[in-house]
Structure 1
Amino acid sequence: MKIKLINARSFYRRRILIMMMKTYLFLFCTTIFGFTIEKSFSQEKITIKVEEIVSVDDVFNIIQDQTKYRFLYPQNLFANAPKVQLKKGVIQISDLLSESLSNIDIEYELSPNNRILIRQQKPLRVSTIIQKQHKVSGTVTDDMGEPLPGASIIEKGTKNGVTSDFNGHFTLNVSDENAILVVSYLGFVTKEIYVNGEKNVLVSLKGDVASLDEVVLVGYGTQKKEKLTGAISSVNSKKLTVSPVASTSNALAGRLPGLISKQSSGQPGADAASLSIRGFGNALVIVDGIESSFNNIDANQIASLSILKDGAASIYGARAGNGVILVTTKRGQIQKPTITLTSSKTYQGVTKMLKPVNAGQKVELSREGHFNSGGTEQNAPYTLEAMNKYYDGTNPLFPNTDWYSVLMRDWAPQQQHNLSVRGGSDKIKYYGFLGFLDQESMIKKNGGNYERFNLQSNIDAQITDELAMQLDIASTFEDRDYPARGMGVGGYMWQDYWTTDPMYHSEFPDKTKIPFADGAGTGGLHITSNSDISGYNKTQDKNFRGTLALTYKIKAVEGLSLKAFGNYNQNFVNNKVFTKPVKLWSWDPESDIYTQVGSYGGNASLSQSSANNRTVTTQLSANYKNTINDTHEISAMVLLETIDFKAENLFASRDRFLTSSIDYLFAGSPVGMGNYGGGSEMGRQSVVSRLNYAYKDKYMLEAITRADASAKFSKNQRWGYFPSFSLGWLVSEENFMEGFKALDKLKLRFSYGESGNDAVASFQYLTGYSFNQVYLIGNGVQKGLMSSGLANEFLTWEEIAVRNAAIDYSFFDEKIYGSLDVFYRTRSGIPGTRLASLPSTFGADLPQENLNELSDRGFEFSVGNRGEIAELKYDLNANISWSRAKWEKIDEPEYTDPDQERINKKNGNWIDLEYGYKTNGLFTSQEQIDNLNYDADTQGNSTLKPGDIIYLDTNEDGVVDWKDKVEIGQGARPHWMTGFDLNLQYKNFELSALFQGAFAYNTNVTLGAGTTTSFYNRWTEENNNSNAIVPRIGSTAANPSGLNDFNYKSASYLRLKSVSLGYSLPEKLLNSINISDAQCYVAATNLLTFSRLNKYDVDPEAPNTGWYYPQQRTISLGVKFSL
């Protein structure tokens, strides 16, 4: 709880940024051991029970009523003193007295027998200079434009001051027109205003970082954090911009307990992290009230971000079964127009990446494999002399090409520039944003890039006292330009990366001749990675969003308002893939003769597609909020929502272009051309209601109901009904807790919520037909129809239920704070197709049914410590979470073999168990193989040699086969997530660092002669190491197929996700150049990673393949100016 004092100087300030774990332990211990168990005056507290404005005399009476202290002072001493605004909660006596007396010439002294002496300070002997006074009037608001009653406005360097009235207005006579006003309010950052001859000023105070999370996003609105009863986590928007990121999802990892983040690619324009709340699956993302993505929104546009993890998500019904991420963009404020410019330059480099061998290494490995297989020098594929020449690489007849160096540059640039304007009055508030991002590829030669423009305008207008309007317009324009071969996860360009031969040249002296390099039939990586040579894959994505909302307050009923909301969301996507033919050449260095040996691509070809998606969302709602007798706080909402979706797409292709200079369809041959189009429509209707009740701010209740109708189901199965409720108990406000002086807050929460899922194919209750069947009738080809299978009119909603119990706590004036949540979720009626209980023959495809059940469980814990030591301010916090899912019921066959049941059965088991073979390193001698007491290769161990993998006979039946499979891993999704955020501020410097970790998951690392790391860490006769990470080259051992723990490794990691050091220019300097705010910073991401996979040159977030664009580490320089 906070106490708001009219004369309060804000003792909170902006949070700051980081040091190290040692620093955290030092500061934490300093805070803990700085407290004593004595009930000294400086630490005694009282409880403010009613929020009111009182006199200083009343403050003394409140203290006397609750303590043993008595005040002694002259009568009428405070007759002209400013009033004090009290807010319900707990406050230390010393803080209350200091704030009440801070702006008047009064001092106090604690004397024996618990008497407090109050007296006027002795005046200083100064010369009196008569000056002409200057009258200043103004209004003090928060950053959302709401007035702040009781704000302190003081002429700097004097005791001359006033407080703002209930409307935030004030009038003050200052010594001259160049005076400086110091404006402060509890929970907000103190601000200095230079009068500069102005007679009217607007002052907008920003919430202090320590209290910015007091109001958080909830479904269809906001709520004070102290009133929350559900599992909702939020992140300060400032933390999203600590380091420049192209995709906002990459700024969330490690910051929110329960949020699982995994970034599988660093490709420009496709580097977004997959986000899962508690491991449930892809979360619903709501941006400014509509379903959307926030990865194409600039992080600087975001005002607040919350995640709904339990029954609180039920308010979004069918779409919210996996949780909800709520995002709101910035809006106008009551203030003078403020123009803000941010600009950054970023350099991107690779974290970890497997690299192909060069020519010398390839020859050495080839010879080694030959000898390991019993070959001799006489029939070796390469001579020792040839190997040395390839290693040397100076003889053009023996080229030694490092294809990694040909492909990748060390650093790729990225630039980001934003311009925003913000301001307004009590009648109209506005916010405008223009952003530009240019992210280049790591590929050295014409390897593509990503560009994005963001435009936004948010306007709030108070048309009459009762009617308010919100008008938002936003657009995003994205351009992705990649090589035609494909550079995403699994893209064929990465196949070329591994198959292009290092024994070929990457270029010739004659640059017009393209070398053949035998890359999977493509001619080589130097061709397919260069869009100027081989062609391009370009995508343009244009998105337009428009929102109009009207809110009308009903005068006749206090607290009642009606709202109409409409949003139009249009998305256009155009894709164009153009491949060019390339002539391939060989070169004879001795005769300097070039010979064409083939070509890549045949004739030029073009495929072009377009998609047009439109979503219309409308909402009509009634909202009520009122407080009765300062005891009963009631709020309620009823909302009707409709969502209509329509999509259309077209595709066309032609090849046999006469020239690759024209990349339009008309230039291609009509022979063999292709074209088709399609479309789909979908709709949803919903009825939502919510009731919130709080009694004396101690007992809280929230009840939500939602009904959704989905056109995917038949008429009788179309509606789903999803209720939820949550309870909160602020235990720390109970009388029996008064003895726990160190405890500020202890709140218990419990929630239960239901939601649904309709993520199934549409219209399965109808018998459909496929038009793609082709039949040969006589000598002709005839298109025909084919039944798509049986219909199921009983298919309906999957039902999801979440239970959550939690504790929120804070100690020592909120210097220590945190929460603990535990949850259990069930999913029933999961659609599936029968595998068991089937007849031996069946003449149609089976439909989906609501067959299966799944459960999730887990917990989240967070703890933080904030405070000040001299001029150093700190805020350090950590979070950790665990979650895992289990099959409760799934349709599967009856197993008769106990080993088949152990390995394959899903019912009652974790969903991500991985079974495979146990190993014990590598054989180091033939004697070790001969003494093996079981058959490891099913051939009497005759194929085994030193350097081969040792497979274990786990069931001890004398042979290694599928029955020896045991649990060796936990799947590809982390079960444990952690984050450690450190923030420090010293004077004008800010330091921030975020450590993020993921644990208890696996990845399959298959290494061989194709990587530099494996080349240096393989088994050889000289390096007869049982723990070498690569077996002997050329092994022909008859090893069992399937996963094994030699390759299936733990991918757990701890990463320095981001670090930033910033400096804010002094206000005195800024005022001299008419700039209100200016900062510069240096930032970095993914600088350090601690992982067992480092020795393999594999990033722990990499997919189970080497065919992907690597994750990036970045270094950024940036500036920010506000006028």
Structure 2
Amino acid sequence: MVETILDYLLKKENVRYEITENNLILIYPEQKSRVSDVKSRILVNDATQQKRTLTGIVVDDRGEPVIGANVMEKGTINGNITDVNGKFTLSVLNNAVLQVSYIGYLSQEVAMGNQTTLTITLRKDTKALEEVVVVGYGTQKKGNLTGSIATLKAEEMVVAPVASTTNALAGRLPGLISLQSSGQPGSDAASLSIRGFGGTLVIVDGIEAGFNTIDPNQIETISILKDGSASIYGSRAGNGVILVTTKRGKEQKPTITLNMSYTLQGVTNMPKTVNAGQYAEMAREEWIQSGRPEATAPYTAEQIRKYYESTDPQYPNTDWYDVLIRDWAPQQQHNLSVGGGSDKIKYYGFLGYMDQQTMFKKNGGDYNRYNLQSNIDAKITESLTFQLDLSAIFNSSVFSTRGLSAGDNTVWQDLWNTLPTYPATLPDPTKISWADGMGTGGAHVSSNYELFGTNRNNSQNLKGTGVLTYKFKAIEGLSAKLFVNYMRDYSKNSTFSKPVKFYRYDVLSDTYILAGSLGSQAQMRVSQSQSSMLTTQLSLSYDRYFNVDHHLALMALYEGIDYGSEWFNAGRDGYMSTAIEQLFAGNSETATNGGAANEMGRSSFVGRLNYSFKNKYLLEATLRADASAKFTPEKRWGYFPSVSLGWRLSEEGFLNTVSVIDDLKLRASYGSSGYDGVGNFQYLSGYAISGNYLLGGSTQQGIQSTGMANPDLTWEKIKIYNAGIDWSLLSRTLYGTAEIFYRTRSGIPGNRLATLPNTFGASLPSENLNSLNDRGFELVLGTVQTYGDFTYDINGNISWSRAKWDHYEEQERTDPDENRLYTASGKWTDRRIGYRSDGLFTSQAEIDALSFDQDLRGNSTLRPGDIRYIDVNKDEKLDWRDQVVLGPGTTPHWMSGINLNVKYKNFDLSTLFQGAFGYYTHVVLLHGNKFNSEQIYNLRWTESNNDAHALIPRLGGANTNNLTSDYRLKSAGYLRIKTVAIGYNLPSELLNQANIQQARIYLSGTNLLTFDKLRKYNIDPEMPDGQGGYYYPQQRTISIGLNVSF
């Protein structure tokens, strides 16, 4: 210890020293006269180095002891924690300064002076309640919210790099249902639904827009409005609202932030393909078990052996999965931002780039995105401020014409419909191997899809917003705002398809045989579309306190939105050369084109009132009037009110002295909204161009009625009721929220059931016929604790919701079984109907002993290995009357998330567990009678695997095996380790030398492990219903990244 002190003191003085027994020798060769100066530095003042014992107590502003508060000697690691009585004892140096902190309280520094006993009072930190939350057309303090609003901060979204912003939300917001059905670059967005209501309105910086392509690092906060608080957005908000707010400049020195990450993407779960021997074995097995002659089976035992050995070139063995798919695909994301400003002007700029590659080795599909943003806030005068926001998003991708565009999964179908008994390549690399499944001509898989042609996609999103705000000097609290935004979307797709020929190769004769083709000539198709939206808002706001206790806020707003869109397409065939991918190079006689344009508009008036008394009794009321051109002038306007109340019990006299309770609030709300999701102008009779007719020796264009007009068609009406309680306890170390809701929808458009004569010439119009209701609950629980340098925050959320039809327009049914199975009114909206199974038959004796006719042919088609069903109604036959409700549909009823955040000194750990339960999927592994799934091979019933509970029935089984039943309808519920991130913040001592404000390196992963019942099938639980391997699989990612601020 002495040597360490001497090294520190003498280093800058160029003085050496020696310690011998009880002597300290200083050696200063050049300036010996300075030895006395050095001695004075070593002879430390005894008074300041002496220690004494200090005792004390830490209490809150009510005088109650604070248990577990941290008491540290500033600048040291010397510290202690208060006991159950709030007391502490600590040995400190004279003139020490104590740092006292505890979660939920403001930290304090206390100079010890000459005292030996201290009483330290910590004041509550009300920052959580004072935090500003983005709501419809404005902001509110979190403590004064009366609606059901959940928020997510920027730092929670960027824990791990994600390609799509929507994928960062799963499990983090209570009531938000997220399902990501595809991992395809550029099309991997999750579908979002608030409380299972359906498509959700998204508002980005005040305008209706998508946010999937926004870089998560651009976002400041996300709020979701789940109850009547969404009614302020009227007819578009019946299913709730997601509010996205991007980052803005702050009053601070310029800060430059650089984020860089490199990611590897791999498949979470996906069926694998079999080898050639396994396929041939199953093909023969299926042929024989289906009752066909063994002598004509597609493969002999000798051929199967040769396919397994894979030594004879006439018996190839191709692993198409390995040929087409790589284990890991790279992704990189980089963004740079700068922000800062003064009282007069604030600015923020952002530049982001992402390159995401596909799992395919030679099929293109790589996706690139550029994000640009610039936000400026200027104070022109003390009364007038101006805001200018500009942003742009550019997306591009290039891939093969063989089906890897958004929503097109032809390549995956190729993979599963192609047999391993065909070679992937031929000796002549210019020729494509014929690899068609079972000779049906349905699959055209290739080891090089680039030969098929290219599909190029480009899109742009441009936005500009200007905001003027004026505060009236004559009337305190009154301000006016003009908001104008223009947004333009542009997209272009060009597809150049080349004719492709497929060959079989005869090894013995070294000859190529033309086996098939795809297209007879090169062709090009080009389509372009663009849309625009102009949003104008003019508002007056009044916000003022009266006599301290009364707070009143009023807002009146007009909003007008004008939509416009247009598109056109063109194409040509007959290209003499595939080297020129331009329209002009095609045959002009084959030219085609088309196009259309439309316009639409909305006008709305909005009013809002907020009142609070002593921040204890809270009231909010809104009213919105929307006009829609889809209805007659008499029914054009819809009026949508809402009201919500809040009561902060913790501010009442009978509770504000209870030290355990920091905040306790009850709230309730009612809101209404409408929906105009019907075709345009259905109140008018119309005609559409349809068909050509030969009249008078020439072809004439025909028209057809679009259906009967309905002038009574009007708004669908939506009402939602919500009640909740929010609490914070024990100095904000325990917090939570619980709420219930009930929603009704009436006047849902539908068509009346009626039999019309063929001579009627039109269809019945839409009417406001149907109605349903939703109900559910949400629960959030969390705790945050700090022990010295160690802090953890763990919180979880769970929600449940489901919908039931009140009335569904349908035929009247008198048969009790028809009514039980098919009548929808009064029943859940997502029932799945099918048969109950009882395992598989394992012997002919079991079939012979069956007490009912399962196949309606005296059970003559049944064999061991077939599915055994249950005769539910005991009528000695299996028919539609034996069906039952097997379970719910494809949307989860239960959603959950558990977040764990840990910090220790410079290290941090963040983990998210995300779960979805209460939904089912139809497991499909067999596509088009192609037995090329490894799961089929491993899980199927065979004579040697005579298991009544085998997961796949016998190949070539009875037709009854294809009935919808619980044998293939499986629970898709899962619990997923969604995100894990470990980070390290470099020490400030090191960063200061390089003028770096902050630097963090991290390692993260997403979708690392999933616990579910579908793993045995190698199917991801978020895969679309019944798709099996026909879809681009969900991705598992591993990332390394760096965040630096200057």
Please classify the TM superposition score into its range, dividing by the shorter chain length.
0.7 to 0.9
Tell me which of 692, 717, 728 is aligned to 1:810: 728
Contact 1:616 1:644 survives alignment (8 Å): yes
| Alpha-carbon offset, residue 590 of structure 1 | 2.9
Deviation per residue, 1:842-885 (Å, 9 max, x gap) = 44211111111110000000000101123210000000000000
Q: Which amino acid aligns with 1:402?
A: D
1:403-802 equivalences under 5 Å are 403-487=320-404, 488-489=406-407, 491-518=409-436, 525-527=444-446, 530-738=448-656, 740-802=658-720
Aligned length in residues:
958
The separation in 1 between residues aligned to 2:278 and 2:96, in whole angstroms, is 88
| Alpha-carbon offset, residue 413 of structure 1 | 0.4
Query: Bigger shift: 583-592 or 235-244?
Result: 583-592
Structure 2: 5+ residue stretches without partners: 1-54, 76-81, 98-104, 114-121
Query: Bigger shift: 1010-1019 or 879-888?
Result: 1010-1019
Match of 1:313 in 2: 230
Contact 1:418 1:433 survives alignment (8 Å): yes
1:158–1:710 Cα change, 3 Å: farther
1:689–1:400 Cα change, 3 Å: same
Tell me which of 328, 345, 359 is aligned to 2:276: 359
Contact 2:953 2:961 survives alignment (8 Å): no
Q: Which amino acid aligns with 2:380?
A: I
Contact 2:401 2:454 survives alignment (8 Å): yes
Match of 2:942 in 1: 1020
Deviation per residue, 1:769-823 (Å, 9 max, x gap) = 1113222335433212211111111111111000000000111111010100100
1:1057–1:1120 Cα change, 3 Å: same
Q: Which amino acid aligns with 2:132?
A: V
Match of 1:1114 in 2: 1037
The separation in 2 between residues aligned to 1:752 and 1:838, in whole angstroms, is 42
Match of 1:1029 in 2: 951
1:631–1:671 Cα change, 3 Å: same
TM-score, normalisation: structure 2: 0.88
The separation in 1 between residues aligned to 2:96 and 2:730, in whole angstroms, is 41
1:99-118 equivalences under 5 Å are none
| Alpha-carbon offset, residue 215 of structure 1 | 1.9
Contact 2:401 2:495 survives alignment (8 Å): yes
1:838–1:512 Cα change, 3 Å: closer
1:212–1:379 Cα change, 3 Å: farther
**2:568 match: secondary structure:** strand
| Alpha-carbon offset, residue 523 of structure 1 | 8.4
The separation in 2 between residues aligned to 1:852 and 1:523, in whole angstroms, is 42
Match of 2:194 in 1: 277
TM-score, normalisation: structure 1: 0.82
Q: Which amino acid aligns with 1:1034?
A: G
| Alpha-carbon offset, residue 479 of structure 1 | 0.5
**1:388 match: secondary structure:** helix
Match of 1:287 in 2: 204
**2:819 match: secondary structure:** helix
Q: Does 1:964 align with 2:887?
A: no
Deviation per residue, 1:360-406 (Å, 9 max, x gap) = 11110012123323456544321211101112223210001111111
Q: Which amino acid aligns with 2:352?
A: G
Q: Which amino acid aligns with 1:457?
A: S
| Alpha-carbon offset, residue 124 of structure 1 | 5.1
Structure 1: 5+ residue stretches without partners: 1-39, 48-66, 68-90, 104-109, 127-149, 160-183, 189-206
Deviation per residue, 1:124-170 (Å, 9 max, x gap) = 599xxxxxxxxxxxxxxxxxxxxxxx99999x9999xxxxxxxxxxx
Match of 1:233 in 2: 150
The separation in 2 between residues aligned to 1:542 and 1:882, in whole angstroms, is 38
**1:737 match: secondary structure:** coil
Match of 1:867 in 2: 785
Deviation per residue, 1:315-372 (Å, 9 max, x gap) = 1001100000000100001111111110000000001112333321111001212332
The two structures, once aligned, show a CA RMSD in angstroms of 2.9
The separation in 2 between residues aligned to 1:358 and 1:97, in whole angstroms, is 64
Contact 1:412 1:440 survives alignment (8 Å): yes
| Alpha-carbon offset, residue 482 of structure 1 | 2.7
Tell me which of 870, 878, 883 is aligned to 2:801: 883
Q: Which amino acid aligns with 2:1043?
A: K
Contact 1:46 1:93 survives alignment (8 Å): no
Contact 1:352 1:1099 survives alignment (8 Å): yes
The separation in 1 between residues aligned to 2:567 and 2:903, in whole angstroms, is 53
Contact 1:399 1:502 survives alignment (8 Å): yes
Percent identical residues: 53
The separation in 2 between residues aligned to 1:945 and 1:245, in whole angstroms, is 50
Contact 1:407 1:525 survives alignment (8 Å): no
The separation in 2 between residues aligned to 1:185 and 1:672, in whole angstroms, is 80
1:497–1:781 Cα change, 3 Å: farther
| Alpha-carbon offset, residue 123 of structure 1 | 6.3
Q: Does 1:1090 align with 2:1011?
A: yes
The separation in 2 between residues aligned to 1:102 and 1:730, in whole angstroms, is 38
1:17-166 equivalences under 5 Å are 45-46=60-61
| Alpha-carbon offset, residue 584 of structure 1 | 2.3
Match of 2:139 in 1: 222
Contact 1:486 1:537 survives alignment (8 Å): no
Q: Which amino acid aligns with 1:809?
A: W
Tell me which of 1063, 1088, 1101 is aligned to 2:1022: 1101
Deviation per residue, 1:532-591 (Å, 9 max, x gap) = 210122211111000000000001111111000000000111111211112322222234
**1:362 match: secondary structure:** helix
Q: Which amino acid aligns with 1:366?
A: A
The separation in 2 between residues aligned to 1:328 and 1:447, in whole angstroms, is 34
Contact 2:426 2:433 survives alignment (8 Å): yes
| Alpha-carbon offset, residue 1061 of structure 1 | 0.3
1:627–1:943 Cα change, 3 Å: same
The separation in 2 between residues aligned to 1:761 and 1:530, in whole angstroms, is 44
1:175-254 equivalences under 5 Å are 211=128, 214-254=131-171
| Alpha-carbon offset, residue 494 of structure 1 | 2.3
| Alpha-carbon offset, residue 837 of structure 1 | 8.7
| Alpha-carbon offset, residue 838 of structure 1 | 7.2
The separation in 1 between residues aligned to 2:880 and 2:337, in whole angstroms, is 63
**1:493 match: secondary structure:** helix
Q: Which amino acid aligns with 1:565?
A: F
Match of 1:330 in 2: 247
1:125–1:158 Cα change, 3 Å: closer
The separation in 2 between residues aligned to 1:827 and 1:697, in whole angstroms, is 34
Match of 1:1077 in 2: 998
The separation in 1 between residues aligned to 2:389 and 2:395, in whole angstroms, is 20
Contact 1:754 1:801 survives alignment (8 Å): yes
Q: Which runs of 4+ in 1 moved over 6 A?
A: 91-99, 150-154, 156-159, 520-523, 837-841
Q: Does 1:1065 align with 2:982?
A: no
